[in-house]
Chain A
Amino acid sequence: MALPLMLLFVFPLIASFFFAARSIFDLAGWAALFIHPQLWSGLQLSLITGLVSASLSVLAALLIVSGLYQTKWWPRIPSQVGAMLAVPHLAMAIGLAFLIMPSGFIARGVAMFTGWQTPPNWISTHDPYGLALVASLVIKETPFLMWILVSILNREDVQRNFAGQRAAAVSLGHDMKSIWLRIFLPQILPKLIWPLLVVFTYAATVVDMALVIGPTQPPPFATIVWADINDADILYNARGAAGAVFLSLAVAGVAVLVWGLVKAFAMKREWLMTGPTARDIIRPSGPFSTSWRRAELLRGVHNFTLLHTSGEGGPKGRMRSLLARFLFSKVLLLYLLVTATLILLSFAILWPFPQLWPQTLSMAAWLRVWSNPSALITSLLVAGATTATAIAIIIAWLESQPQRRDKLILLLSASALGLPAILLTLGQYRAFLLLNLTGTATGLFLAHLIPVTAYMFIVLAAPYRSFDPRWRASASGLLCSVPKFLWTIKFPLLKAPLLAASAIGFAVSFGQYVPAQLIAAGRYSTLPMEAVTLTSGTNRPLTAAFALLLMAPPLLAFIAAAHFGKSRWSTA
């Protein structure tokens, strides 16, 4: 049963790879591509925005996580990051655009102090350097990388090992900064390679966000390719296909180059074993050294109290923790501001600049949404169906297949997420054309099922496989059947990862734009399609309402998963 079910995921995916690869041989497409006037400028823009946003995201995520690790704020991070993850990329781009545009919330706030009566002459969205696109990508990808890091660091074995290694390194004179750089990071980074590749590929090939907030003259290369693929002209289609392959190769080339540079740096290893610096301050040259004076001064305040310093690692550690909290709070604040802007804008009919509050509020946008809820219903149905199917596929696989076979599915899943969506969608479109699946509900369902299953498998496989086999042995001794064991023991004990994976699957499906748009072929409309279309119009309240609709169900799914996933017991 598990194999035929898994074929629902594997077959369309492999067909997509095959048909995408076939595009390589369309020489007319390549010839047209290389005379495209915006090829190199668009490609340069895509690669630079991708590299910059991925680098900034990983830097921010590491700064925040290393500063908050094992402090009292640490336990709260997963739920806060989960809520941020639930916000689809597209909704964030739309919200951020409304926030930073010349007549946006930020400009209105500044106008209170500067006295501006008209919106400033800023190019804050669709700017030629892609800064707004980079900002929105960083805001979305930082929580994703934080979530990966938190998942790694919260593993029981990692916590135990790192606690011991930290104590050993501290006793050798290394402070927390040094321990993060030399002990923790080298062990974490290999596990971050795939997520980083996914982030870079996504950032360099994103279409929906680029259409909403990215540069236009030239646009990022992915949007040029997207326009070609959607064109009615066959030659443009071929050029788009060649472009998708070329973009993928360029992204892969840059990823390999960057990875090679990082590896070359890491190979030197000199920096790994540099001696400690913290020891220097304990050997004061005399009673007037800075550290000595500081210790004496503090002792006067806290005489006879030996305050522990393990959690934050002394004054420097507290500074790092403060910086991390500052950064994280700003990211959270941006999410709140974006949501607030969207809510307000969805009710605003008349909102002249520089007023901070709309002059007239109206339900008009929301009434229009409710009068024709087909896109919302389609999105909900597809997300519900794909999430339920994916969980069935994954559980059937994990229950019936040996763990060594997981590698294949993990590889396919990682490829589905690591390869540009535009390339996979192209292959998928051509395969579905052959199978008469374009413009059908089945086609739309399968197009969503691939990324949903890929994400959910990556999230669920490790916790599911690490389920203690002694529970099964114990239940067997009590003559418990397999279905009864699953429903009464295993699923309740694994409900947190099962619900978290489902919430992620639901959010992934809800945010799909590229595959849905192409496979639906105009027969079906989902929320992301409507939202992207609306951003090119002038009806801001309706666009804001659709962006909020994009945000709300995934957010509710995450809240429900966090609430119902709480354990009422301990297995320790």
Chain B
Amino acid sequence: MSLVLEKLSVYLGDSRIFEPLSLTVAQGEIVTVMGASGSGKTSLLSAVAGDLPEPLYAVGLVILQGRDLTRIPPESRRIGRLFQDDLLFPHLTVGENLLFGMARGPKIERQAMLKMALQHLELEGFENREPHTLSGGQRSRVALMRALLAKPDAMLLDEPFSKLDKTLRSTIREYTYSHLQERNIPTLLVTHDPEDVPTGGRVIYV
């Protein structure tokens, strides 16, 4: 139940963006990827997610839960992502955003899960609010919960705390890590900030 990268690298034409990377991220482990701007950290995450923009392309293998993800479209990889922006859909309410990634099923079950999620977020009564009415911290937590409700097999975090102020940053960071570790989700985190590295966590440089 891990995320394995085998000799994964990204190319632009003939030039390689970063050296081939082999790595195993265990269940519940958060591996931090660091490197200078332009070193290819975000490209690495896109290669894992399978949505590298043209004309970039990736070479190597991504294996999740023992399955090779080559040729699996990004939406079918079961890899969740958090970005610098929370990217809550502005035309959907908080509740609708949370339901968006939830697996299809009976309405009652989905609503029950939504209620639990809102309780967990301490946002009961916020389900019909529009995302722009929430505070930055609330939005970040909703974005994380939305990703978790989709039950991903792995998570990719692309500097998700970089736009938060210092106080909020540490709170949301702890909140995020505890949820990911609780669910045993292998996670790759890209960041510039050494403070984001989880205690005792591995760091790799590209």
Contacts and interface: CB of A to CB of B under 8 A. Distances in A.
B81 A310 contact: no
Contacts of B59: 304-306
Contacts of A183: 89, 91
B14 interface: no
Contacts of A172: 80, 100-101, 146-147, 150
B47 interface: yes
Interface in B94-109: 96, 99-105
B94 to A, nearest CB: 11
B118 interface: no
Nearest to A189: B91
A72 B54 CA distance: 9
Interface stretch (B25-33, B68-76, B162-170, B194-202): B68-76
Given A165-B89, A172-B146, A310 B74 contact: yes
B61 A311 contact: no
A173 B72 contact: no
A424 to B, nearest CB: 35
Interface size class of A (residues with CB under 8 A): 35 or more
Contacts of B147: 171-172
B51 A275 contact: no
A273 B99 contact: yes
Interface in B55-75: 56-62, 68-75
A167 interface: yes
A274 interface: yes
A299 B61 CA distance: 10
Contact of B71 (A164, A186, A302): A302
B53 interface: yes
A456 B199 CA distance: 60
Contacts of A294: 71
A390 to B, nearest CB: 35
Contacts of A309: 50-51, 71, 73-74
B56 A175 contact: no
Given A295-B68, A298-B71, A171 B96 contact: no
Given A172-B147, A291-B76, A299 B51 contact: no
B49 interface: yes
Contacts of B60: 304, 306
B185 interface: no
B78 A168 contact: no
A118 interface: no
A307 interface: yes
Interface in A150-191: 164-165, 167-175, 182-183, 186-187
Given A278-B73, A282-B78, A299-B68, A306 B58 contact: yes
A302 to B, nearest CB: 7
Given A167-B87, A170-B51, A306-B47, A299 B104 contact: no
A376 B72 CA distance: 59
A279 B76 contact: yes
A66 to B, nearest CB: 16
A308 B87 contact: no
Contacts of B92: 272-273
Contact of B77 (A167, A174, A282, A298): A282
B177 interface: no
A273 B156 CA distance: 23
B110 A275 contact: yes
A308 B50 contact: yes
A281 interface: yes
Nearest to A175: B75
Given A277-B104, A298-B71, A306-B60, 15 more contacts: A164-B85, A167-B81, A169-B100, A171-B81, A171-B147, A172-B100, A173-B75, A173-B101, A187-B90, A275-B100, A295-B72, A299-B70, A302-B71, A304-B7, A308-B53
Q: Which 5 A-B pairs have the closest CB atoms?
A: A314-B73, A172-B101, A171-B81, A310-B51, A278-B75
17 contacts: A164-B83, A168-B81, A170-B74, A171-B74, A171-B156, A186-B91, A272-B92, A273-B100, A275-B99, A275-B100, A279-B78, A282-B76, A295-B68, A295-B72, A304-B59, A305-B57, A309-B50
